[in-house]
Amino acid sequence: MAKYQEDVKALFEQIGGKANIQAVSHCMTRMRFVLVDPKKANEKAIENIPSVKGTFTQAGQYQVIIGNDVANFYQEFTKYAGIEGVSKDAVKSAAKTNQNPLQRIMGALGEIFAPIIPALICGGLVLGFRNIIGEVDLLNGRTQSLADVSQFWAGMYSFLWLIGEAIFHFLPVGITWSITKKMGTTQILGIVLGLTLISPQLLNGFSVATTAAADIPVWDFGFAQVQMIGYQGQVVAAILAGFVLVYLEKFFKKICPEVISMVVVPFCALVPAVLIAHTVVGPIGWQIGDFIANIVNMGLNSSFKLLFAALFGLFYAPIVMTGLHHMTNAIDSQLVNTYDGTNLWPMIALSNIAQGSAVLAMSILQKRNERAQQVNIPACISCYLGVTEPALFGVNMKYGFPLVCGMIGSACAAIISIGTNVTAISIGVGGLPGILSIYPEYWLNFLLAMAVAIVVPFVLTFIIGSRKLAKEERIFEPKHTNTVAEPDNLAAVQAQQSMQAAAPCLVELKAICDGRTLPLSEVPDEVFSQGVMGEGMAFEPSGDTIYAPTDADVSIVMEDSRHACGLALADGTELLIHIGIDTVDMNGDGFTLFVYEGDHVKAGDKLITFSPDKIAAAGHPKTTVLVVTEPSGHKKMNFNTGIDVKHSETVAAVLE
């Protein structure tokens, strides 16, 4: 009899049957479905299936979390359903058919901006620190800044502009690179194209408005002249130019013989792309970017601005859940470059805070529910630091009312923010640190909005939760089996001793790689960060090899993608090691397996090597996760996070 027969049957029925399954595949922990009609999936019933640890929808895929044994579950499911499984790439392609044109456009924009968001956040912080150092008069009766009275801080103020300029003025380079990476064309050509848009030969784009038309330099081709204008900070123009290059390269690759492709294709793609960028799509993109920025800015400064703010604050969190929020990065960047600031970013930071405050109220309501707290506390912290997905998917959307309470608090805070004209100098860190991105003259206004974003969602969630949450949701009472009645005969004593002997012993897990350890809550994947798969920790590797943390049997490996493996300890404890985030999409490129299912390994044995460069080139974090998926009776698990470790030497975790 199949191990998962009943669960497979239940999942098949609750997901809508064969007619509702367009495609199915799996990764190391999840079944990945593309459904004909996602509404037919009975999510609540699916999550009640014993083998299912959770569900969520992402990029058109309905994902069902199973755990380490997902490969066996998948085999039983496809056999029972009479469905042929497909590759993960095929699932990804099929998932796009579930998206309308707007969703596909927004999804593409999200994928373009995702790799450059860390730089934008860093740049926002840098400009925020420059604000504090050189723009805030704190000294000598509030007449001088730190840079005015200290040569060190004056030098630091000047030095930090080197980074800020590189990120925001040279943004087109990052955009054109990201487009070529996403579209699978030559990335160095994308970089070169971006550099031609911000070359020092050109008139700086920020100086165009103050330069007389007669003073703008030109390329004179005799029959025509082209203005030598730079596109520093321009977003839409860079996006259009990047796609021109991509499609030219793909066209010439298709028609050019392979033997001369290396020479002909780059030349025939890059030269026309640069010319088209400066003569056609650059000027058009500039006008489109200005139009978008002007429309948004008009909405933010019109007589209806408070209504605009209320709607933006109310609906921003649901937009995040769809993944369409990345579009705001483009709008924010355009506003910063057009108006030297953005009113959108403060509202985004306030929405982060509001959702975090709803989780904080849930954490207090569920303070006696240890299982819920494992999700609530990390989600609240990450939300207050600007990462809302764990809170949205793990807590607020699950219960419903915290999400709505957070949305209401966000709307109230947004009204105050726009009503008092709070302006950010740039995109920066969201959540509570978002104040570093705000112009100093608006700090008090932003603090007031922050207070509203904290108090309103917290109070509403606490009041509603006090009435709506059932006892079992507020208090988790595990069944304790460690108390044994005093034996009155020898047989009972022996039985008790036998039970104690069978209890799991202390297990030390050594570091699986060189690098630094992180809390699981900081992993940029909600399945891991929310503890859905179990307790654990993460590593930011400094090398390229993953080692066994202890003596174990290899219970499962992903032989096609080679990015993960499972280990089974002698006492029944099961571990999952997962290299990188979403690296399953790399289809094994850059990974080498040294073990296979059924092998026995000793602590320190080599398991997998990987290429950090290829992971980075694919746009994925190399953060590696170690999760205890089956604790097998271990009641206490201590993970040593926030430290530098050496593989096979440093004790990373202790299971008691």
- 3-class SS at 466? helix
The secondary structure element, H or E, covering residue 317 is helix 305-322
Helix 327-339 / helix 151-168 crossing angle, nearest 10 deg: 120
State how far the Cα of 627 lies from the Cα of 576, in Å rounded to an integer: 5
Q: Which residue type sits at 649?
A: E
DSSP-based three-state secondary structure for 31: strand
For 47, the enclosing helix (H) or strand (E) is helix 43-47
Written as six digits, the tokens of 336 are 């910063």
> Radius of gyration (Cα) for the chain, nearest Å?
28
Judge residue 272's burial from the number of C-beta atoms within 10 Å of its C-beta, 0-12 exposed, 13-18 middle, 19 or more buried. Answer: middle
Question: Per 3-state DSSP, what percentage of the chain is helix, strand, and coil (rounded to 5)?
Answer: 55, 15, 30
Instruction: Look at residue 388 and give its three-state secondary structure.
Output: coil
Helix (H) or strand (E) holding 143: none
Neighbours of 224 (CB within 10 A): 9
Contact in structure between 423 and 345 (CB atoms under 8 Å)? no
Question: What does the alpha-carbon distance between residue 176 and residue 433 come to, in Å, rounded to a whole number?
Answer: 29
Is 26 within 8 Å of 32 (Cβ atoms)?
A: yes
Is 122 in the active site? Answer: no
CA distances from 322 to 44, 99, 340, 385 (A): 20, 11, 29, 20
At residue 48, what is the residue type? Answer: N
CB atoms under 10 Å from CB of 200, counted, come to 6
Residues 240-266 as b or e (16 or more Cβ within 10 Å = b)? bbbbbbbebbeebbeebeeeeeeeebb
Secondary structure string (H, E, C) spanning 239-287: HHHHHHHHHHHHHHHHHCCHHHHHHHHHHHHHHHHHHHHHHHHHHHHHH
Question: How many angstroms separate the CA atoms of 127 and 555, rounded?
Answer: 49
- Running DSSP on this structure, what letter comes out for residue 503? S
| Rounded CA separation 161/127 (Å) | 8
**Residue recorded with tokens 């058009």:** 284
Contact by Cβ (8 Å): 171, 124 = no
Amino acid at the residue 647 = H
Contact 578, 615 (CB under 8 A): no
For 219, the enclosing helix (H) or strand (E) is strand 218-220
Cα(415)–Cα(432) distance, integer angstroms:
18
Instruction: Exactly one of 27, 412, 513, 565 is catalytic; name it.
Output: 27
352 in Cβ contact with 364 (< 8 Å): no
DSSP letter, residue 58: E
Q: DSSP letter at 570?
A: T
- Kindly give the pairing relationship between strand 637-639 and strand 61-65: unpaired
Residue 130: partners with Cβ closer than 8 Å, 6 or more residues away: 157, 160, 161, 164
Which residues are marked as active site? 27
